């Protein structure tokens, strides 16, 4: 063993070498380089396996050919024990092609013995690269976990929003709807028992306003809780397109099969909300003359495409911090294992495309849509 007088903790180097002379040369070279290191030599595969299982080393330095085995055998032992330690070949008995092949396997570096003067720099570089790789792996794992937590939160948020919408829709139906129905009965009674023309005029106006309020409450309830999905996604998309045309005067062409069976409720809801949001955005911003909706379940993928012939969406518009609608749709698509693409060219309209792979193992639940 060798070390340098310093407050620095010495690097622990496991030297796999069956030549005592070469081991001494390595010790001498490290001392010449001023390295603060502790060098431990083994010359059998069994001793190597024992040491790496019992002790931690900063780097492994190995000759390529040893008695009865090679450094690649030692590398395999290291992998079997799932140890991540920089592994450097120091040998004169290996060709360039073999050295390249070894590095492709994951070995950190290779140094010919005739270039012993570079040893300490090679070891330092291998340790530093190994450290950077481990930090990157840890950062990648943390990023993946963070993205998973964000996806779970987005899914929870979407579910919470849908539950709140359903609760509000029920309150509108039970409280406001009930009150409006009672008012209608009272107005009908007053109309039957009044002959005064002025009073009748006011009652007719009140009846018209009541009809408008009832229609508005029905529309709000349908937007909040899409009970129309109980009739299937195709029917719901047709209902959305019809309502959009009535409000905006824009023609909507729907291309869809008569019925798509076997869709989980979460998938139906994702497609419904995507259609709803896309039509809302078109009505606000598109300045178009016509809209097309295509829906299919070909090749085991539910595909929804909503296209307009407006001026298009720029990349700057999509990148705006306030562009939550499209981002929300993308997050919703992820919650059901799908994805959402926006295709747009200036002056050539915009297409919003939702794709959701369908699992044949998911049974269709024909019950009421309660989210």
Would you state the pLDDT for residue 261?
86
- 72 class by beta-carbon count within 10 Å (0-12 exposed, 13-18 middle, 19+ buried): middle
pTM of the model: 0.56
Would you state the pLDDT for residue 214?
87
pLDDT at 320 over 80: no
Residue 62's beta-bridge partner residues? 16, 89
What φ, ψ does residue 81 adopt, rounded to 5°? -90, 5
Strands (E), 271-360: 291-296, 301-308, 339-344, 350-357
pLDDT at 264 over 70: yes
What CATH number is given for 229-371 in this structure?
3.30.565.10
Would you state the pLDDT for residue 319?
64
Task: Write b or e for each residue in 207-226: b if 16 or more Cβ atoms lie within 10 A of its Cβ, otherwise e.
Answer: beebeebbeebeeebbebbb
**Summary mean pLDDT of the chain:** 86
Domain with CATH 3.40.50.2300 in the chain: 11-138
Neighbours of 280 (CB within 10 A): 14
Task: Write b or e for each residue in 307-325: b if 16 or more Cβ atoms lie within 10 A of its Cβ, otherwise e.
Answer: bbbbbbbeeeeeeeeeeee
Would you state the pLDDT for residue 242?
93
In this structure, are residues 303 and 294 in contact, taking their beta carbons and an 8 Å threshold?
A: yes
- Helices 197-224 and 119-171, axial angle in degrees (round to 10): 150
Instruction: List, for residues 17-76, the tens digit of each pLDDT value.
Output: 999 999 999 999 999 999 899 999 999 999 999 999 999 999 999 999 888 999 999 999
Rounded to an integer, the average pLDDT of 143-162 is 81
Q: How confident is the model at residue 94 (pLDDT cuts 50, 70, 90)?
A: confident
CATH of 11-138 given 3.30.499.10, 3.90.550.10, 3.40.50.800, 3.40.50.2300: 3.40.50.2300
**Proportion of the chain above pLDDT 70, given as a percent:** 92
Would you state the pLDDT for residue 296?
95
Instruction: List, for residues 114-135, the tens digit of each pLDDT value.
Output: 898 999 999 999 999 999 999 9
**Proportion of the chain above pLDDT 90, given as a percent:** 51
Would you state the pLDDT for residue 5?
39
In this structure, are residues 311 and 347 in contact, taking their beta carbons and an 8 Å threshold?
A: yes
Would you state the pLDDT for residue 93?
66
Would you state the pLDDT for residue 324?
64
Phi-psi region of 133 (alpha: psi -120 to 50; beta: other; left: phi over 0): alpha
pLDDT at 286 over 80: no
Domain with CATH 3.30.565.10 in the chain: 229-371
In this structure, are residues 233 and 272 in contact, taking their beta carbons and an 8 Å threshold?
A: yes
pLDDT at 260 over 70: yes
| Alpha carbon distance 270, 236 (integer Å) | 12
In this structure, are residues 232 and 260 in contact, taking their beta carbons and an 8 Å threshold?
A: yes
Rounded to an integer, the average pLDDT of 204-208 is 92
Q: How confident is the model at residue 364 (pLDDT cuts 50, 70, 90)?
A: very low
> 282 vs 159, which has greater pLDDT?
282
> 189 vs 328, which has greater pLDDT?
189
pLDDT at 263 over 70: yes
pLDDT at 340 over 80: yes
Return the closest-CA partner of residue 41 out of 51, 32, 55: 51
Q: Which of 13-17, 63-67, 92-96, 173-177 has the highest mean pLDDT?
A: 13-17
> 217 vs 136, which has greater pLDDT?
136
């Amino acid at each position: 063993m060798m070390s340098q007088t310093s407050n620095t903790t010495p690097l622990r180097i496991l030297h796999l070498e069956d030549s005592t002379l070469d081991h001494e040369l390595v010790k001498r070279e490290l001392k010449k380089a001023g390295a603060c290191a502790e060098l431990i030599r083994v010359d059998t595969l069994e001793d190597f396996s024992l040491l790496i299982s019992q002790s931690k080393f900063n780097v492994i330095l190995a000759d390529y050919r040893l008695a009865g085995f090679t450094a690649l055998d030692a590398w395999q032992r290291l992998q079997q024990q799932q140890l991540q330690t920089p592994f450097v070949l120091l040998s004169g008995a290996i060709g360039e092609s073999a050295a390249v092949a070894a590095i492709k396997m994951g070995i950190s570096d290779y140094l010919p013995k005739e270039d012993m003067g570079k040893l300490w720099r090679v070891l330092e570089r291998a340790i530093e690269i190994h450290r950077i790789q481990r930090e990157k792996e840890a950062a990648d794992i943390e990023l993946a976990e963070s993205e998973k937590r964000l996806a779970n939160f987005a899914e929870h948020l979407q579910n919470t929003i849908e539950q709140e919408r359903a609760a509000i829709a029920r309150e509108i139906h039970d409280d406001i709807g009930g009150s409006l129905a009672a008012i209608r009965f009272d107005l009908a009674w007053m109309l039957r028992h009044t002959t005064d023309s002025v009073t009748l005029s006011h009652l007719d106006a009140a009846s018209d306003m009541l009809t408008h309020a009832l229609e508005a409450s029905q529309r709000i309830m349908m937007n909040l809780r899409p009970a129309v999905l109980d009739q299937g996604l195709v029917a719901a998309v047709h209902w959305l397109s019809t309502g959009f045309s009535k409000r905006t005067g824009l023609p909507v062409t729907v291309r869809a099969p008569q019925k798509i069976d076997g869709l989980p409720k979460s998938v139906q809801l994702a497609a419904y909300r995507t259609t709803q949001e896309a039509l809302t955005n078109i009505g606000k911003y598109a300045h178009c003359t016509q809209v097309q909706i295509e829906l299919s379940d070909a090749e085991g993928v539910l595909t929804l495409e909503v296209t307009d012939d407006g001026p298009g969406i720029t990349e700057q518009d999509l990148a705006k911090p306030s562009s939550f609608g499209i981002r929300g749709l993308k997050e919703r698509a992820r919650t059901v294992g799908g994805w959402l693409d926006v295709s747009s060219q200036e002056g050539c309209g915009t297409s919003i495309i939702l794709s959701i792979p369908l699992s044949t193992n998911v049974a269709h639940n024909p019950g009421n849509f309660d989210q």
